[in-house]
Structure 1
Amino acid sequence: MFVYDHEKNSEGRFFGLPIWKRNLAFCWFGMFVTGIGMSQIAPVLPLYIRQLGVHNAAEIAQLSGVAFGVTFIISAIFSPIWGSAADKFGRKPMLLRASLGMTIVIGSMGFASNVYALIGLRVLLGVITGYSTACTTLIATQADNAHAGWALGTLSTANIAGALLGPMIGGFITEYAGPQNVFFITGSLMMIAFLTTLLFVKEDFRRQEKKVLHAKEVWAGIPEKSLTITLFVTSFILTVALYSVEPIITVYVTQLSRGTGHVALLAGLAFSASGLANIIAAPRLGKLSDRIGAQNVILVALVIAGILFIPQAFVSNPWQLIGLRFLFGLTAAGLMPSVNILVKKITPGALTGRIFGFSMSAMYLGTFSGSVLGGQVAAWLGVRYVFYSTSALLLINAVWVYYNVYKKLNKNEWALQKANGMERSK
């Protein structure tokens, strides 16, 4: 296994703290707000599209799906491009570009005159994203190896929690302030993220290679290709698992509640429970990855997460579902930090931004695919089969990780320890 030294910016101090810790705090806020900005529109779309003059129920559903999904498809395309730009020009300029761009675009959605303008702005939002990629690359290259797991674990909670809590926040603002104010409030938060990034995020960027690498050259520069692909697929499947229940959660909670009321509140709690669990568990599991190895945490988390989806199909009331969703979030919290730790370790420093960009693309595709998978499986087979199919995906991925990541890396580490022992004995 190849392990590369990255930028050693963590030695500097800023207001009494290592620079990377200050950057982590401000990047966390920016990524959390970005996650909200990308996902808060989900419960708002049907209401806003109706307000924009579309009244046919089938047309509203169709246009809502297009408007929500197009952002993530476009983001998947552009995320590696912005990752490449981060490697060339620095991560802070990419943070400023993305946060200011999202401020303008999300705020403009509140002024959309028709549904096609709204969809166009959603496309533009997908083009200008890249905040999360730049943040992850910045912290991965600044944090020292002893704290990388904790740092990336903490950072991963921001994006996932923002994305999972976004629909609930969007629904709450819509309920009390109207759908237009969702865009104005989120745009204002993004402006705060832009200003804090401008004033407080510090980077001593030194470009490591002058030649512009094309996609084939980037791929040729990755030493562990099979391992890298496995990590990308794991990112994709984790995000599919997180979002597969989104289209069916309200329907399922309605069935479970049997007319007791508060369906919207219970559905919001069920969807957001895994996000709350992520916030609690990800830094701790990231720290655990530093101690016992990221490959060990990935394998165990995948197996437990896959098993936890099965009882969700057999619950008899919404509170049991909420509890199981929370437990799933606790286990899923160990996956993304561990994936990012391994990506950092096996990637040459000059390619870090581009590889994290591809990883983020896999997550964006997973968000879109998870929503589509959940809706289609529920429509053809029934709601409970969404949980069976998602469980199968996670467990199949666990088998692949066992052979392609767990066994390979543990074998390499054992060989390295043996070699070091022989050197000491001499």
Structure 2
Amino acid sequence: MALASEPVNWRRNLFITWIGCFLTGSAFSLVMPFLPLYVEALGVSGHQELNMWSGLVFSITFLFSAVASPFWGGLADRHGRRLMLLRSALGMAIVMVLMGMAQNIWQFLLLRALLGLLGGFIPNANALIATQVPRNRSGWALGTLSTGGVSGALIGPLIGGLLADQYGLRPVFFITATVLFICFLLTLFCVKEQFTPVKKKDMLHARQVFAALKNPKLILSLFVTSMIIQIATGSIAPILTLYVRDLAGDTHNLAFISGLIASVPGVAALISAPKLGKLGDRIGPERILVFMLIVSVLLLIPMAFVQEPWQLGILRFLLGAADGALLPAVQSLLIYNCTNQVAGRIFSYNQSFRDVGNVSGPLLGAAVSASYGFRAVFCVTALVVLFNVFYSWWCLQRRPTKIPENKPQEEQ
């Protein structure tokens, strides 16, 4: 924790937390390409059982993260966000080591749940930067920060697959733990925070937090928006490869084409997020949010009618560019409409809604495709996002958000 008299350079903190988000994003996605293979190596056999356990060990992390996020958010408001970054990075590093030593599927499932409980580096990094950066630059800062996790998630599967082929499955967990420990050391020595601890008796309860907000209904709508963004992203994930196969017909490089189409939204978001965040600082994040939700609907609908994989790839690239603006806009609006005293919990509640979306999105996509076919998934997803357009517009119109005045923290 930084001394009260020690000035904080928010630009340096932004740079270091970006690296931390990149490393944690990479660490989480490193193991994704071979997760079913590791489940199989732990003794699970049979197609049905392998699918069930793979889905379970994947989703349980998000379920437990959704439960734990508010608790960590409360501790962040009491003891500081930097401490939560350190706790998350070190805790995940230890869990990754234990995962590499797991002997059966039940141990691995328990450790995946523990990973969800101890996670939270990225939302706490968002809360730290959001409370330090001048408000009129928060869109750009949070958009830039979001590219760290996105770029890490993009490169992680590629590196993880190469490492697994070169060294085997278990060593990748130990390499991932090393990456997370580096993240811990960077945060320990480079991130500074001016924070006055809040006594437990002075902490607001959950009801008091929302009662203290000027516009709690708007905050709730932003939580719902975060959830729907993740639902829209995740609903397509279970059927994407199969949909590409239907479009491409008999092709020898299906895995490459599917991987390329799966990754292009992340590349587009990486490019668009800082620029659209900066635009949001000028014209207002609420306008960016509603407009990009509308664009998302207009891009999802034609995905149901494409005839070639390249058409789907172009539409998904454009969708990724729109999505790159959504979460930074939500986070900017959150920090505009809450005080620094409760920012940790507000961001943690938002993370819980995102985790619920991460779990429910693939379930929605799988259920719709099983009943109505692959193309129906895009139409249903578009309807869900369209609902969010009207809901967000209604909540934002009831009380337009203006950028509050903010005195930036002194820089070094």
**Common fold, TM-score beyond 0.5?**
yes
Match in the other structure for 2:255: 264
| Deviation digits for residues 76-119 of structure 1 (CA, Å, limit 9, x no counterpart) | 11111111111111111111110011111112211111111110
| Deviation digits for residues 339-373 of structure 1 (CA, Å, limit 9, x no counterpart) | 11110011022100000000111111111111111
Kindly indicate whether residue 295 of structure 2 is the aligned counterpart of residue 304 of structure 1.
yes
| Separation of aligned partners in 2, 1:57 and 1:349 | 50
Q: CA deviation at 1:175?
A: 4.0
Tell me, what secondary structure is at the counterpart of 2:305? coil
The alignment's C-alpha RMSD in Å is: 2.2
Please identify, of 298-307 and 185-194, the stretch whose mean Cα deviation from structure 2 is larger: 185-194
Match in the other structure for 2:321: 330
| Deviation digits for residues 177-215 of structure 1 (CA, Å, limit 9, x no counterpart) | 433233222222111111111111111212366513222
1:156/1:106 CA distance change after superposition, 3 Å: same
| Separation of aligned partners in 2, 1:363 and 1:170 | 25
One-letter identity of the residue aligned with 1:186: T
Residue pair 2:284, 2:402 contacting (<8 A) in 1 also: no
| Separation of aligned partners in 2, 1:112 and 1:387 | 38
Q: CA deviation at 1:168?
A: 4.7
One-letter identity of the residue aligned with 1:206: T
Q: Name stretches of at least 5 consecutive residues in structure 1 with no aligned partner.
A: 1-8, 14-18, 417-426
| Separation of aligned partners in 1, 2:237 and 2:36 | 15
Kindly indicate whether residue 22 of structure 2 is the aligned counterpart of residue 32 of structure 1.
yes
Tell me, what secondary structure is at the counterpart of 1:304? helix
Match of 2:144 among 151, 154, 160: 154
Amino-acid identity (%): 42
Q: CA deviation at 1:300?
A: 0.4
Kindly indicate whether residue 24 of structure 2 is the aligned counterpart of residue 67 of structure 1.
no
Match in the other structure for 1:354: 345
| Separation of aligned partners in 2, 1:245 and 1:124 | 27
Residue pair 1:232, 1:358 contacting (<8 A) in 2 also: yes
Q: How many residues align?
A: 401
| Deviation digits for residues 208-264 of structure 1 (CA, Å, limit 9, x no counterpart) | 665132222222222211100100000000111112111111111222221222211
Q: CA deviation at 1:286?
A: 0.7
1:409/1:153 CA distance change after superposition, 3 Å: farther
Please identify, of 290-299 and 180-189, the stretch whose mean Cα deviation from structure 2 is larger: 180-189
Kindly indicate whether residue 389 of structure 2 is the aligned counterpart of residue 365 of structure 1.
no
Match of 1:247 among 211, 224, 238: 238
| Separation of aligned partners in 2, 1:377 and 1:171 | 30
Match of 1:189 among 175, 179, 188: 179
| Deviation digits for residues 121-159 of structure 1 (CA, Å, limit 9, x no counterpart) | 001101101211211111001101121110011112223
1:163/1:79 CA distance change after superposition, 3 Å: farther
| Separation of aligned partners in 1, 2:33 and 2:302 | 27
Tell me, what secondary structure is at the counterpart of 2:135? coil
Residue pair 1:315, 1:321 contacting (<8 A) in 2 also: yes
Match of 1:117 among 107, 112, 122: 107
Please identify, of 28-37 and 196-205, the stretch whose mean Cα deviation from structure 2 is larger: 28-37
Q: Name stretches of at least 5 consecutive residues in structure 2 with no aligned partner.
A: 405-412
1:167/1:134 CA distance change after superposition, 3 Å: same
Tell me, what secondary structure is at the counterpart of 1:348? coil
TM-score w.r.t. the length of structure 1 is 0.89
Please identify, of 318-327 and 204-213, the stretch whose mean Cα deviation from structure 2 is larger: 204-213
| Deviation digits for residues 30-61 of structure 1 (CA, Å, limit 9, x no counterpart) | 12232333344443222111111222111111
TM-score w.r.t. the length of structure 2 is 0.92
| Separation of aligned partners in 1, 2:402 and 2:79 | 35
User: 1:24-423 maps to which residues of 2 (within 5 A)?
Assistant: 24-163=14-153, 166-207=156-197, 211-405=202-396, 407-410=397-400
Match in the other structure for 1:419: none
Residue pair 1:148, 1:341 contacting (<8 A) in 2 also: yes
Residue pair 1:83, 1:133 contacting (<8 A) in 2 also: no
One-letter identity of the residue aligned with 1:320: Q
One-letter identity of the residue aligned with 1:152: L
Residue pair 1:168, 1:268 contacting (<8 A) in 2 also: no
| Separation of aligned partners in 2, 1:139 and 1:161 | 19
Please identify, of 378-387 and 33-42, the stretch whose mean Cα deviation from structure 2 is larger: 33-42
| Separation of aligned partners in 2, 1:194 and 1:164 | 21
| Separation of aligned partners in 1, 2:354 and 2:137 | 24
Tell me, what secondary structure is at the counterpart of 1:261? coil
Residue pair 1:83, 1:130 contacting (<8 A) in 2 also: no
Residue pair 1:156, 1:337 contacting (<8 A) in 2 also: yes
